[in-house]
Structure 1
Amino acid sequence: MVLNSPFTTWEGNDVHGRRPVVTGVGVRLDRLFARPPGATRRVIASGLDLTGEARGRLHGRFPGVEGDWLGVVDYEIGYADGRRDKLYLVDQLVPFHVLRKR
């Protein structure tokens, strides 16, 4: 299933099929999941690693009421202990200021 917003860009045609244009992005996890100033830090080795940048796929967009844009993004977050499994997040609304075009 594909999220169809009025602002989704499509490629293809009705004969051969239409698909949303997907743009590779980096999701800046440090900015998306910013910690409050002065918050106590406690490391949980099996927790999600919310630092750095995760690879994502932007496939839709929506404007906010105050003019800020939100991207519809699929991305993965790894675990701090380095395991191969990742948490795969689908159709997440993410503010454009945390995205970087890849």
Structure 2
Amino acid sequence: MINSPFTTWEGDDVHGRRPVLTSVWVLLDDLFPRPPDAPRHVIVTGLDLTGKVQGRLHGRFPSVDGNWLGVVNYEISYADGRREKLHLVDQLLPFSVLREPK
């Protein structure tokens, strides 16, 4: 697990420490933009990189130019509707693709 300087921890050394997880939305359309003129070839077993998915933010890092990156765990569904998902752990995502749930 990536331990950022801004990770908040709960628990103790006796019972174990774990990072505090903050619920966020990951905007997949913004994270994986598709050029409007790009040809489309549908692969039904591919990943669905559209919409938004729930994520769990547990750290952050500043970039050299002042933008923030969140350390996020999230899942992406397959386009064919199967139950299993691709689990992504400790992903550095720009805060511009993250939203607080309302």
TM (norm. structure 2) is 0.90
2:27 & 2:40 partners in 1: Cα distance?
20
The 5-angstrom pairing of residues 8-23 of structure 1 reads 8-23=7-22
* Whole-Å separation in 2 of the counterparts to 1:60 and 1:23: 9
Could you say which residue in structure 2 is the equivalent of 1:92?
Answer: 91
User: C-alpha separation between the residues in 2 aligned to 1:82 and 1:16?
Assistant: 39
Give me the CA root mean square deviation: 1.4
Identity of aligned residues (%): 72
Amino acid across the alignment from 2:78 = Y
Deviation of 1:12 (Å): 3.2
Query: Structure 2: how far apart are the matches of 1:16 and 1:101?
Result: 30
Measure how far apart 1:6 and its partner are. 1.1
- State how 1:28-43 maps to structure 2 within 5 Å: 28-43=27-42
Partner-residue secondary structure (3-state), 1:31: helix
Deviations 1:51-98 (CA, angstroms, capped at 9, x unpaired): 111111111111111111001111100011111111111111111111
- More displaced 10-residue stretch of structure 1: 29-38 or 13-22: 13-22
2:53 aligns to what SS in structure 1?
Answer: strand
Give the Cα separation in 1 of the matches to 2:86 and 2:58.
19
**Unpaired runs of at least 5, structure 2:** none
Partner of 1:50: 49
Task: State the distance in 1 between where 2:82 and 2:18 align.
Answer: 33
